[in-house]
Amino acid sequence: MTFLEYAPAPESTAILNLKPEYGLFIGNEFVAAEGESFSTISPATEKEIARVANASAADVDRAVAAARKAYDKTWSKLSGRDRGKYLFRIARLVQERARELAVAESLDNGKPIKESRDVDVPLVAAWFFYYAGWADKLDYAGLGGNPRSLGVAAQVIPWNFPLLMLAWKIAPALAAGNTVVLKPAETTPLTALLFAEIVQQADLPAGVVNIITGAGETGRALVNHPDVDKVAFTGSTEVGRQIARSTAGSGKKVTLELGGKAANIVFDDAPIDQAVEGIVNGIFFNQGHVCCAGSRLLVQENIHDDVVERLKNRLSTLRLGDPLDKNTDIGAINSAEQLQRIRELSDIGEAEGAERWTAECAIPENGFWFAPTIFDNVSTSSRIAREEIFGPVLSVLTFRTPAEAIAKANNTPYGLSAGIWSDKGSRILAVADKLRAGVIWANTFNRFDPASPFGGYKESGYGREGGRHGLAAYLKGAK
Amino acid sequence: MTHIAVPKTYKLFIGGAFPRSESGRTYEVATPKGVFLANAAKASRKDARDAVVAARGAVSGWAGATAYNRGQVLYRVAEVLEGRRAQFEDEIVRQEGVSASAARAQVDEAIDRWVWYAGWTDKFTQVVGNANPVAGPYFNLTVPEPTGVVAIVAPQDSSLLGLVSAVAPALVSGNAVVVVASETFPLSSITLAEVLATSDLPKGVVNVLTGSPAEIAPWLASHADVNALDLVGAGALDWIDLEIAAADTLKRVYPPENGPDAAAPALSRITAFTETKTVWHTKALI
């Protein structure tokens, strides 16, 4: 018996009109790739959704050539006003097809439909709407008058927010006047391919947006392509390092949005119930597949027991299961490989002496699942406190003074995000000043907005996405 | 009776002190015609590491100082520079072999650039920061913050101006600096260090290494406690290898610049060594 019995309320997949097989999207057409196709599966059922093309180096060449031609012949000559109108069209088309995109996202990624429907897809539309308006206002972007676009942008995105990461990459790039070749992650190509249909419906000039599918090899060929002027990558710190090495001396402008190990700091004067909701949202949102996830809970020692108990009670009410069910809180882990990594690191956490607690919930027979898990009494040197797990696993540490909280929060090579929970405004401001992280949420967590710059300090990467700063990543000064 | 001159021993500048290189090494600095000027310290890997330790220790104090205070301290540097201009001009003439008027012009420009940057400390945040109109009950603010420890390979073809042009902008936001001076013209860097040491700049905020950039720069590029690498003067080195080494800890890297306009005054030289922090403050629902 769980918290409350609910009848299943699955979102229908009838709204989808998928093709059995997708080619590469180059020059506004789906074309066949050279290599073998591969299948994209639903992580909740392990059933094939569609087959997608695996782009070879020659395919990457074709896509970059299409983007170069579009840049030289049409897009760089179009006025900002006209570029903006195309982006506004895209924003509207995303809104019109929002339900379809949400269902496809949950099917392919495994995230709960309530997240793809209420967070991912609305933000995608917002992102295009926001940057559409920038296209004819670039003189105000902070680079002086008449800033110039860079050229062809190579964009490689991860599987955790497939369509949202696409929007973060494509919207500012196009607004600034660049053309793009984008590669979605190999496990989540579906919504990018549906987006290609939207590009066709918006009647964008051919070659402005090219979408090529494939794995790491395809991504490498893309970012190292000599005719690429800009590289934007979101993904692991390890791959980010490889890109920084391979693009060294190339003159390519590079932005990297990499891993994180965010501290979520709860002071004893925090509104505890809200904080518990925030902690849950911080680490269990999107199954913890979030680079800015609040994976290290730093709780003031005197409220530790209370917070952990309330947290366990709250987690016991979360529903794990079918991502398409509207009642589902925790969906599927994106891939068998990722599930393996979460299991390994969790076992290490246990072996290193942390106390493991896992919410009791029924695990479906097929698919990849990991029940929400808390590790208590985690030491700062433990691997689960240092390495990014990228799963629904929370490490709990304690502190006594603000100085100790700050020292522990900053004790990581990462610096993407952090959370502060307190009712004392002056303390929030002081602590926020001291945290070495690019995004800080005070009495909230995991909020995103196209007007708000996002990105990391230290080994979480460089460059910003969102806001005026995100636009500057795709421009250079006039001189 | 003629006065027998008392020549200066040019040493390193680390943590506010003037140590010799721990390696005991020096190298000869001469005029363009080959006349001996001084034995400059030839910094080692250990000296570079000591300098990084000193810089790291200085970051929180300098970054935590008010922008007004940083501005006043940097302006004071320009004042003291002005007062010792004769010594700088003399050293420039002897090192570079240029005319007295050319040396004077270089010192003029170095002082003016320093003043220009000093005035930025309490303004760049307003120019590059943002209040962000997010769709929700949040006060959302973006501000630039210093990156941390910045290692600089100073322009190699200039004794004072290149050095000033690279060091001053990194200090504006509150970074601490380890700078490798011009190998050929190192004397001005140590005299500048004497200016810095007497200008209320906290110790460790600027650390000056003289010697071989080709030898020292790789240790700084791969040092895990260096946050950013300014390769402005590294054009003649294997600078791509330095950038590759810097990738291990994802340092921010600023590429080489060549020619007389290298490190020209620009806001972008300040922001290159800053990080962008965005804070979401929750508003109550009333």
Quick: pLDDT tens for A417-457: 999 999 999 999 999 999 999 999 999 999 999 999 999 99
CA dist list (Å): A364 to A323, A325, B174, B246? 12, 13, 54, 46
Model confidence at A3: pLDDT above 60? no
As a whole number, mean pLDDT of residues A132-148 equals: 96
Do residue A220 and residue A310 come from a single domain? no
Do residue A340 and residue A438 come from a single domain? yes
Q: A59 in a domain, yes or no?
A: yes
Quick: pLDDT tens for A38-93: 999 999 999 999 999 999 999 999 999 999 999 999 999 999 999 999 999 999 99
Confidence of residue B285 (pLDDT cuts 50, 70, 90): confident
B239 interfaces chain A, CB cutoff of 8 Å: yes
Do residue A416 and residue A334 come from a single domain? yes
Q: A13 in a domain, yes or no?
A: no
As a whole number, mean pLDDT of residues B105-113 equals: 98
Chain A residues with CB under 8 Å of B133 CB are 451
Do residue A48 and residue A149 come from a single domain? yes
Do residue A216 and residue A326 come from a single domain? no
Do residue A66 and residue A160 come from a single domain? yes
> DSSP label at A299?
E
How many domains does chain A contain in total? 2
> How far does chain B reach from its first CA to its final CA, in angstroms?
87
Nearest-Cα residue of chain B relative to residue A440: B279
What ipTM score was computed for the predicted complex, to two decimals? 0.96
Do residue A112 and residue A235 come from a single domain? yes
Q: Counting Cβ atoms within 10 Å, is residue A321 exposed (0-12), middle (13-18) or buried (19+)?
A: buried
> What is the structure's pLDDT at A59?
97
**Dihedral angle sign, alpha carbons of residues A235, A237, A241, A244:** positive
Mutate which of B240, B270, B274, B275 to disrupt the A interface (most A C-beta within 10 Å)?
Answer: B275
Give contacts of B 87-106 with A, CB under 8 A: none
The CATH number of residue A311's host domain is 3.40.309.10
Q: What percent of chain B has pLDDT over 90?
A: 97
Q: A10 in a domain, yes or no?
A: no
> How far does chain A reach from its first CA to its final CA, in angstroms?
68
Distant-in-sequence, close-in-space partners of B128: CB < 8 Å, separation ≥ 6: A142, B144, B267, B271, B274
Q: A185 in a domain, yes or no?
A: yes
Do residue A433 and residue A312 come from a single domain? yes
Average pLDDT, chain A: 96
> What is the structure's pLDDT at A35?
81
Structural domain harbouring A318: 263-442
| Spatial CA neighbour of B148 closest among B204, B71, B91, B217 | B204
Quick: pLDDT tens for B231-244: 999 999 999 999 99
Interface contacts A/B by beta carbons within 8 Å: 102
How far is A393 from chain B, CA to nearest CA, in Å?
Answer: 24
Q: A333 in a domain, yes or no?
A: yes
> What is the structure's pLDDT at A105?
98
Do residue A359 and residue A382 come from a single domain? yes
What is the 3-state secondary structure of B128-174? HCEEECCCCCEEEEEEEEECCEEEEECCCCCCCHHHHHHHHHHHHCC
The CATH number of residue A167's host domain is 3.40.605.10
The pTM for the full model equals 0.96
Chain B residues with CB under 8 Å of A458 CB are 227, 249-250
Do residue A73 and residue A98 come from a single domain? yes
Confidence of residue A266 (pLDDT cuts 50, 70, 90): very high
Do B164 and B114 meet the contact criterion of CB atoms below 8 Å apart? yes
Model confidence at A479: pLDDT above 90? no
Model confidence at A478: pLDDT above 90? no
Size of chain A, expressed as the number of residues it contains: 479
B72's tokens = 């006043």
B250 interfaces chain A, CB cutoff of 8 Å: yes
Neighbours of A245 (CB within 10 A): 15
A257 belongs to the catalytic site? yes
Quick: pLDDT tens for A101-136: 999 999 999 999 999 999 999 999 999 999 999 999
As a whole number, mean pLDDT of residues B146-174 equals: 97
Q: A317 in a domain, yes or no?
A: yes
Quick: pLDDT tens for B74-85: 999 999 999 999
Quick: pLDDT tens for B42-53: 999 999 999 999
What domains sit in chain B, N to C, each tagged with a CATH number? Answer: 26-282 (3.40.605.10)
Q: A7 in a domain, yes or no?
A: no
Do residue A401 and residue A465 come from a single domain? no
Model confidence at A226: pLDDT above 80? yes
Q: A241 in a domain, yes or no?
A: yes
> What is the structure's pLDDT at A1?
44
> What is the structure's pLDDT at A416?
97
Do residue A89 and residue A220 come from a single domain? yes
C-beta atoms of A245 and B138 within 8 A = no
> DSSP label at B16?
T
Model confidence at A195: pLDDT above 50? yes
How far is A454 from chain B, CA to nearest CA, in Å?
Answer: 7
